[in-house]
A and B are shown apart, each in its own frame.
Chain A
């Protein structure tokens, strides 16, 4: 089983692999720049541990862990 984005901790970097989500969510995430091979870094977690803030392609994005779970890393 590949590691997924929600398992990362603050400050960790990783490289995006496959996205295993229904069509619409997958398209949405890819439109925001989560394509294969992109580097991401976890910037911080929200006060209650969810959602998380990641940086990719030079900008910051916040995303819930439930959505981060569909993004596999490699």
Chain B
């Protein structure tokens, strides 16, 4: 099967095109660096690969290295160079590098629907002549031009013709040719182009040099001479000369093939969004609005309604099953286990749907990168980068993609610190437990919910300060981020993302939660000798009592809470379902009081995330020691904070 691979600058729409082709719903958003992993799909009988965006083949962050390694080593049959048509010049800079890989390249001008608005016209024919690549215009988000795209892909694969390589100045070309003619070049790995290798040798590209045998004496001498004379001639280092000349080629092609009429914008949202005084209040207002709309407004209406619905369902089912004479254990599993457990989780679907919808809109409109811009200064003072705010915002939905998105943070220490603190921001799955506790112990006290988020933020800040204080080698970090254009969110994208995340939640309720509810119900109905007993004598209670003493100082040293916390490791939604299954008749108010409810919430808020998120942490940290530290740190902070909260409440009340 032939392989085609999508490559291009970050945020040029590769994943949108990938989704449009393969019918998948891979994660898209409007900031540079949404895709951090290679994705595979199938379209029209080809294998299609979606790679993280890169500005150049000299990569910096881990996901950029992945793109480079893939494109060099796996040698796709066709390189699809996706270009944001409104940003031609910088995109062509990457094209000048892709052209040298000895594979056919198809240039795809994406976002052609925006060209008119931006006052740009592109002469595709001229662009094609000058680059030696076929060119096709599409709009991936609107699905325009995909038929033409298909034809061009088929033609390009059939012709299998390489593009024309960019030419440097005569002076540089002379040295490139000298290297190509040298015997040493026979040592290049299979599949590498001699011209490409010669340029990399001239540039002293470390990643490439590592794949080559040591220089023979004569070659090293010639290379040093070439460097010296180039440096003298251009008054710059060789790498800079090559980059400079590549950009000259890109400028030349862009100038010849596009006409740009500068337009004046009547109003621009950015003047408020990043305004000196309005920016921060606006950010707080937007995030507050997101939570108010989803949890406060929609949640407030639907939760009570759905709760009584499931309660009614349970009661009626019990009556029905009793009248049918069904085996009591089965009827118990159905009502006391499944309906109580799964129902407790499903109650939250409407508000999570709204939360996911609003987050998708936020991600698609271009505001995320601006948040990074306005908050960078603040984030830096706690040892993080402006880019760390993106995972924190995504983390309000789900911690797993949030942790993966830290990959765009170039600096290793900042990336690891961001991974450590991201779980402090409560994800959607933790919401049910907070809502449950608030309903029973703090009804009508609106300030509790924002306090939860504030506590999470406080834990982020505190961890940042402590880590910074203990960091002996304070390294200089870099923050360079492209600010994408604002756009109206594409309805299709927003809908697909929202549906995907909501379905994920529902699926979990139907699988993990269902299973754990049944297991918990059975374990709480029998003793170790398999005699049916009251929950207090059940084997679940026995097991729970083993760990319960640990939580005694926090005020919830009873077995139900311990068991709930344990099942919470599988999925945080389980905490609520386990509590509803094990609490029995007496209900939650018999177990908790306001002080222990608050400390329970605090502990859940800050302790280690679910197993899926721990897996993501393990993968991104890449070290067992660091993972262990993160888990111990998170759980330690959670324990201390819960202790503190309980003490404070007891002191005040």
Contacts and interface: CB of A to CB of B under 8 A. Distances in A.
Question: Which of B240, B373, B386 has the most CB atoms of chain A within a 10 A radius of its CB?
Answer: B373
Contact of B247 (A26, A35, A44): A35
Question: Which of A18, A29, A62, A66 has the most CB atoms of chain B within a 10 A radius of its CB?
Answer: A62
Contacts of B58: 27, 31
A51 B369 CA distance: 13
B479 interface: yes
Interface string A2-42: 00000000000000001100011111111111011010000
B244 A60 contact: no
B493 interface: no
Interface in B223-255: 236-237, 239-240, 243-244, 247
A59 B376 CA distance: 20
A47 B277 contact: yes
A58 B480 contact: no
B interface residue count range (under 10 / 10 to 19 / 20 to 34 / 35 or more): 35 or more
B466 to A, nearest CB: 23
Contacts of B276: 45, 47
A26 B240 contact: yes
A45 B56 CA distance: 27
B279 interface: yes
Contacts of B280: 47
A29 B90 contact: no
Given A24-B60, A35-B244, A63 B479 contact: yes
Question: Which of B280, B369, B376, B476 has the most CB atoms of chain A within a 10 A radius of its CB?
Answer: B376
Contacts of A26: 239-240
Contacts of B478: 25, 28, 64, 67
A28 B480 contact: yes
Contacts of B479: 51, 62-64, 67
B247 A33 contact: yes
A29 B482 CA distance: 12
Nearest to B483: A60
B589 to A, nearest CB: 46
Contacts of A30: 240, 243-244, 247
A31 B55 contact: yes
Interface string B40-84: 000000000000000110101000000000000000000000000
A18 to B, nearest CB: 8
Given A47-B274, A62-B480, A66-B476, A23 B239 contact: yes
5 contacts: A27-B243, A35-B247, A47-B277, A58-B88, A62-B386
Interface of B: 55-56, 58, 60, 86-90, 93, 236-237, 239-240, 243-244, 247, 260, 274-277, 279-280, 369, 372-374, 376-378, 386, 476, 478-483
Given A35-B244, A58-B90, A62-B480, 8 more contacts: A19-B240, A24-B60, A31-B243, A33-B89, A38-B247, A45-B276, A47-B274, A67-B479
